Chains A and B, each alone.
Chain A
Amino acid sequence: MTDTGKSAIKMAAHNVNVFYGEKQAIRNVSIDVGMDEVTAFIGPSGCGKSTFLRTLNRMNDTVASARVEGTITLDGEDIYSSAMDVVQLRARVGMVFQKPNPFPKSIYENVAYGPRIHGLASSKADMDVVVEQSLRRAGLWEEVKDRLNDSGTALSGGQQQRLCIGRAIAVQPEVILMDEPCSALDPIATAKIEELIHELRGKYAIVIVTHNMQQAARVSQRTAFFHLGTMVEYGVTSDIFTNPREERTKDYITGRYG
């Protein structure tokens, strides 16, 4: 933490615009993502928060009509430069999606797949260590250690989501992007994921998109409010939820929107 109370910058976006064909989805967004912080993106459906999240590890590259302007850096390095290896980038900036999406393979293989293709384990014994550490960090090890060969898809929804977080962790990312990671989970599974986010803070820069404002309030240190493709307000979470500066932010978080 620096003197200003803001952690060192891990990722920085500057004047980012995103277009889907003719339609502009993101307008001139600039934001710094702190190294030791959880940053939450909130806003109504269609506000661009998920689109913007996906620019941070170039997931929008997979959408043919998508075009990204502006600069986004990871540790000061432009992630949209031609020198950037996208596969490597996505290992460094991992992602967890709304619906848990384990591979239809064993629990062990779900976690081992990434380290294997990235060459992060040289032997079976090495891989066993990576799998155990990743599942421990994801808070799932105790529940699955005796059935690592069971299919990942046989787990409960909450366990599947923690498996996906473990899978993301296994390739030693620096940033983890989460796109509504709890929207398909019940409150208990949600609480476990939130506790996990809390524990992972400091080890990884975390950016979470959520529809649940109380969740943003619970897990994040900084919150950005998006509306109609622009970032209306970005600040310390406790300030955003007790005394937002912008009228639109206030109307949204107090349930007066629209």
Chain B
Amino acid sequence: MTDHTLKAFDEDIGELRALIAEMGGLAEAAIDGALAALSRRDNSLAAQVVGADKAIDELESVLEKKVVEIIALRAPLANDLREIIAALKIVGVVERIGDYAKNIAKRVPLISHRTSHEPLSLLPAMGQIAREMVKDALDAFAARDANKALAVMERDRAVDDFYNSIFRTMVTFMMENPKTISESAHILFIAKNLERVGDHATNVAEMVYYAATGTHAPERERGPDLLAEKEA
């Protein structure tokens, strides 16, 4: 990609990308922290993750201002315009990903007294995939790499499969032993939060694809839908 004749425009876009990379890094760290706190039953780490979300929110507001400024001063067009709009939307999504990590961390103290719970051992693996999807989607944005974005979208199915499996297991647990309902509900919410992180990473990847190519990503095959199954 050749540079703009007006170098200040390239500097603005460079600054925007750096800020998004920083914000994405914080969100990834929050997911890592929340998952580590969950595995190690570490309440103080969980509290740190909750506290760190403020920095993500602050970056969101800085980035929104930057995007408005670029639109006002540079009147971006074509691929520049698509990238700036994608950036604005991605910023909102990354903020939500941070919220999910915070929400997971908040639940850590509520289940930490229990020593073993089978689905609990699935959550780190599930979280790892979701976190890597976030990282790869943001890397794809930085590199304007449509193929990398497509690869992220394809991985969403794996996260959904984890969620469906955990959902079924937890429902069985709760039916067999109603005393586990409170904890099982928390674990279910954590799984749901990770599933949403995967969805949001997929959304980021879709925006990256559009920004890079100007066309929407091809429709993908969806996994089984729990709600649809129930209706059938």
Asked if A250 and B79 make an inter-chain contact with CB atoms under 8 angstroms apart, the answer reads yes
Does A214 sit within 8 A of B, measured CB to CB?
Answer: yes
**Does B36 lie at the interface of the complex (its beta carbon under 8 Å from any beta carbon of A)?**
no
**What is the CA–CA distance of A46 and B9 in the complex, to the nearest angstrom?**
26
Q: Which one of B1, B5, B81 contacts A257 once the chains associate, using CB atoms below 8 Å?
A: B5
Residue of A nearest to B76 (CB): A254
- The verdict on A61 contacting chain B, using a C-beta distance below 8 Å, is no
CB distance from A247 to the nearest CB of B (A): 10
**CB nearest neighbor in A for B1:** A256
Q: Does A255 contact B (CB under 8 A)?
A: yes
Indicate whether A119 reaches chain B with its CB closer than 8 angstroms: no
Interface, chain A (partner B; CB < 8 A)? 213-214, 217, 241-244, 249-251, 253-258
Q: How far does the Cβ of A78 sit from chain B's closest Cβ, in whole Å?
A: 37
Q: Pick the contact of A255 from B9, B82, B214 — CB < 8 Å? A: B9
Q: Which residue on B lies nearest to A239, using beta carbons?
A: B214
CB atoms of B77 and A256 under 8 A apart: no
- Cβ-defined contact, A256 with B214, below 8 A: no
Please indicate the chain A residues that have their CB under 8 angstroms from the CB of B215 in the complex.
243
B5–A255 contact, CB under 8 A? yes
Assess the A243–B214 pair: CB atoms within 8 A.
yes
Question: Shortest CB–CB separation between residue B2 and chain A, in angstroms?
Answer: 5
Q: Within 8 Å of chain A (Cβ to Cβ): is B78?
A: yes
**Smallest CB-CB separation from A253: which chain B residue?**
B77
Q: How far is the CA of A254 from the CA of B75 in the complex (A)?
A: 9
Within 8 A of A (CB), among B57-84: 75-82
Q: How far is the CB of A249 from chain B (nearest CB, A)?
A: 8
Using CB atoms and an 8 Å cutoff, list the residues of chain B in contact with chain A. Answer: 1-6, 9, 75-82, 214-215
In the complex the two chains form, is B214's CB within 8 Å of A242's CB? yes
B9 and chain A: residue at smallest CB distance: A255
Q: Are A256 and B2 in contact (CB under 8 A)?
A: yes
* Inter-chain contact A242/B82, CB cutoff 8 Å: yes
Contact B75 A251 (CB under 8 A): no
Q: How far is the CB of A178 from chain B (nearest CB, A)?
A: 22
A residues in contact with B75, CB < 8 Å: 214
B4 touches A244 (CB 8 A): no
For the complex, give the distance between the alpha carbons of A234 and B214 in Å: 17
Q: How far is the CA of A99 from the CA of B228 in the complex (A)?
A: 67
Contacts of B77 in A (CB 8 A): 213, 217, 241-242, 253-254
Partner of A251, one of B2, B6, B9: B2
B220, chain A: closest CB distance, angstroms: 22
Query: Once bound together, how far apart are the Cα atoms of A253 and B76, in whole Å?
Result: 9
A254 lies within 8 A of B214 (CB): no
How far, in angstroms, from A213 to B214 measured CA to CA in the complex? 20
